[in-house]
Structure 1
Amino acid sequence: MALTETERLERIARLVPPCPPPNVHEGYDLCPLHGVPWPCPDTQVNWLARGLDLVEAQRKHIDALPKSADLFLTAADMEYDPAEDDSVGSVGGGM
């Protein structure tokens, strides 16, 4: 018995699992398994077989990655003025 198109695509998606996304927040953009730009062909095949939009799937996976705390500054961090910091010594080292 021949497979329907849906069954065939489901089987392809099971045979070709997607690769994990690279840690883009640390500056990586290559597939951790294949060393090619991510999403790699294996990941794209899986997403296409599942009927996912490639751009939306990529965005969803990247948004789900844990983010480094030091990449997200608060408003107080942005307003830092070294002239107001008492812990900083004088530049000239005056005598």
Structure 2
Amino acid sequence: MGANKKRKRRRATLDDRHYLAIELLTTVPTPNLDDIARACGVDRRTLYRWRLRKDFDKAWRELGRQKAAARFRRAKRKVYEISRVEDIELILRATKLVG
């Protein structure tokens, strides 16, 4: 190996603190970054650096997509559940909009 060759340093894989940060970043409403960093036991600047990592960003986006899809499915199911006439009448009677 030549003297001028630099070795690429392998970055450590994501650990539990990274996944905790990702989980907190994808909650709705999202806590502020200071609170997330404190929960993970790191400085806020470290959390900013983590967000620049490709593997962190990929895991963050994937979990965000999964959670958004789950919220959509729940909302769709709720709309479907109250789309029957009997359910709508029951809701209107309960809210005293219909006698």
Q: TM-score, normalised by structure 1?
A: 0.39
If each structure's helix is expressed as a fraction of its own residues, which one has the higher value?
2
